[in-house]
Every structure is written in C-alpha cells, then in structure tokens.
C-alpha cells in the first residue's frame, strides 16, 4: 500500500474487501488523504436452491462501509480488481501451483507481474477498447511491439553500465 501511495500524486478512491488488515494498511500509507470504502460480500445458501449441500455458498448480498474520506458510492466495487486478478492468473501460469512455471522466489514473481502488466497495457489490443489501455489513457499513440518493450530493458541496462 505504501508503494501505491508513493506512486500517486492526487487523491484516489480505494475499495477493498472486508479483510481487516487492509484498513490498517490504507490508513498507514495514505493517512486521511484517500477516499476509502470496504465492500463486504455476504454469503449464504440460496433460498431457492436448498438442495445444494456440496456447492459453494452463493453471494446473497453486500454491505459497504466508508472508512476514510468521501468515496463515490457509485464506484465502490471490487469487480475491476477481481477481474484483473483473474486475467493475471489465467495469463501467467506461474501463479498456478503444479505447473513447470511455478516459482517460489518472490523476486521472480515481481518481475513477471511487471512484464505481464507492461504487455497487457502497451502491447495487447483489447476487444472492448479496440486499442491498448495505454492508448486509451493517452500515454502512447501506437501499439507497442514486444521488441519495443524489450528495448526498454536494454536501455535500462545501458544506463546502469554507464
């Protein structure tokens, strides 16, 4: 959370699930300079399907709580981050145990996440946008090739050596 706080220069809105440690982490990193809400999903058996003894519980509702600031209630959602996590798990197999790509070294996970997000945002044209997210955000005016992405690493290595 402190890393995120160091990377943003404006007030942002954050929504987390009900895990208590998030509240401490957000307050510790941002203080009162954030709009922060918690979205808690309520699970239970679905009243219209009482015979699902071995099925996972259904989400039967949500509760929201505003912890810091004044978050926009229309944007209190964990859906975007949940979808991003699914994309990451499906696109990077090292996050799946029992595969050849599984890695126990945290530093390697960090590098792979950075590579994945750079590709996802600058090289991959998204069906709904018809451009890359970086193009949609105005960060670039063209789709990057993998060669262009790798050349950034070469530039960094050259700068380190100099």
* Last residue of one domain, picked from the residues 72, 95, 126: 72
What range does the domain containing 26 cover? 2-72
Q: What is the DSSP letter of 126?
A: P
For residues 25 and 20, what is the distance between their CA atoms, to the nearest angstrom? 9
Whole-angstrom distance, CA of residue 18 vs CA of residue 76: 13
Find residue 39's DSSP bridge partners. 64
101 and 50, same structural domain? no
Residue 68 tokens, joined: 């810091």
- One domain, residues 85 and 155: yes
pLDDT at 145 over 70: yes
Q: In what order do the strands lie in the sheet with 13-16?
A: 13-16, 35-44, 58-68
The verdict on 94 and 149 lying in the same domain is yes
- Do 49 and 92 sit in the same domain of this protein? no
Model confidence, pTM = 0.71
pLDDT tens digits for 100-139?
766 678 888 888 888 999 999 999 999 999 999 999 999 9
């Amino acid at each position: 959370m402190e890393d995120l706080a160091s990377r943003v220069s404006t007030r942002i809105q954050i929504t987390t699930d009900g895990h208590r440690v998030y509240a401490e982490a957000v307050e510790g990193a941002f203080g009162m300079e954030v709009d922060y809400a918690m979205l808690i999903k309520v699970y239970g058996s679905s009243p219209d399907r009482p015979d699902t003894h071995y099925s996972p519980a259904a989400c039967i509702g949500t509760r929201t709580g505003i912890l810091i600031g004044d978050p926009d209630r229309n944007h209190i959602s964990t859906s975007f981050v949940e979808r991003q996590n699914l994309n990451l798990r499906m696109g990077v197999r090292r996050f799946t145990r029992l595969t050849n790509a599984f890695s126990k070294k945290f530093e390697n996970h960090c590098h792979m996440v950075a590579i994945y997000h750079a590709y996802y945002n600058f090289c991959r044209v998204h069906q709904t946008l018809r451009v890359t997210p970086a193009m949609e955000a105005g960060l670039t005016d063209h789709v990057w090739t993998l060669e262009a992405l790798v050349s950034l690493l070469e530039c960094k290595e050259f700068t380190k050596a100099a």
